[in-house]
Amino acid sequence: MLLQNSRHFVFNPIQAIRQWLDSIEINDYKVAQQLCKTIPAQCPFERKFKLFNRTILYIPPLCKLNPFYEQLVMLRLKSLVYLADVCGEDVTVYC
């Protein structure tokens, strides 16, 4: 995406990738299945380290630091909706 910044244009690759991810339409059964398997339902990075039943170290979910987090979650949701509504598949296996 090109942004006008006082007489010259600046290319913003992150915004361009976000728009590309948002524009993806799901129309293929295999692609939808693969996306649902690849994109996790929950953030896999959250960890609690316990010692004698007390939390000694907590690492919060780091997914929100990913600049494409919202777009990937939306892509997974589009895939789940396609599988459930169009293909009639039971999507509980992906949750």
Least confident of 41-45, 67-71, 91-95: 41-45
The confidence score (pLDDT) of residue 4 equals 56
The confidence score (pLDDT) of residue 60 equals 86
b vs e for 34-72, b when ≥16 Cβ sit within 10 Å of the residue's Cβ? ebbeebeeeeeeeeeeeeeeeeeeeeeeebeeeeeeebb
Please determine, for residue 63, whether its predicted confidence score (pLDDT) is greater than 90: no
Each residue of 2-61: pLDDT tens digit? 555 556 777 889 999 999 999 999 999 999 999 999 998 888 788 889 999 999 999 888
The confidence score (pLDDT) of residue 9 equals 74
